[in-house]
Amino acid sequence: MKKYRQVTVLFTMIGFMACNLDNKQTKAPTQDKYVQLPAYFNREQAHIRAGGYTLAKTVVLNGQKDTATITDTDSTAIHDLLKPFTDADLNKPSLRDEYDTSSLYDPFSGRKSVIYKSKGKQTNPSEITMELDKNGTIQQVNIHSYTSNMVYEFRQDLFYQHDKNVRMTTYQKIAFLAPKELEINVMMAPKNGM
């Protein structure tokens, strides 16, 4: 009986040690599987603010057009403009293994295209395409999102071109209501270049 208690205590101690080692291993930082788009767009926000850009903005909502020129690129205007891009974080735990990755390389220019495509039908974003220059710096990002069910349909295409253009098109349809279409196009130029 005494041996049985000793063996039980020994196995209990080994079990606690194994759990403790397992906890330490799971706390180790994991490397991100996909490009960190939120970090990239946060750097782009700072770059646009520091560069003193003029933004020529055109908004079309259900056929009604409005234009504006923004010369004071404050942090709020730039943050709001790039927020849909920073929200596209594929490294969230819920999206960890939800995308297939493929890439195309141009040996002549050194440019590379990286494509993340959703494995599931309703994962948002459904596809991200990035164009990188020969140094590996992101020059262009396309993000496509799509959700559809019996009551609701939503499509969004986001396009960002470094130092040049931001374009967003959104289509939203809720059952029994008229669809809403929104297009935002922003051309960026240095203040001294306009």
Tell me the pLDDT of the chain (194 aa) as tens digits: 555 555 455 455 555 555 554 444 444 445 667 788 889 999 998 888 888 888 899 999 999 999 988 876 666 888 888 999 998 888 888 777 888 899 999 999 889 999 999 987 667 899 999 999 999 899 999 999 998 888 999 999 999 999 899 999 999 999 899 999 999 999 998 876 54
Domain total for the chain? 2
Instruction: Please give the backbone phi and psi of residue 77, each rounded to the nearest 5 degrees, phi first.
Output: -65, -45
| Predicted local distance difference test score (pLDDT) of residue 3 | 53
User: Do 16 and 64 fall within a single domain?
Assistant: no
Domain holding 36, by residue range, is 31-193
CA dist 173 and 159 (Å) reads 22
Torsion sign across C-alpha atoms 129, 133, 134, 135:
negative
pTM for the full predicted model: 0.77
User: Do 38 and 17 fall within a single domain?
Assistant: no
User: Do 105 and 16 fall within a single domain?
Assistant: no
CA dist 155 and 179 (Å) reads 11
Pick from 159, 106, 162, 153: nearest CA to 134? 106
Specify which residues 118 forms β-bridges with.
99
User: Do 175 and 150 fall within a single domain?
Assistant: yes
User: Do 9 and 73 fall within a single domain?
Assistant: no
Pick from 164, 166, 161: nearest CA to 137? 161
Residue 137 CB burial class (10 angstroms; 0-12, 13-18, ≥19): exposed
User: Do 139 and 159 fall within a single domain?
Assistant: yes
User: Do 82 and 101 fall within a single domain?
Assistant: yes
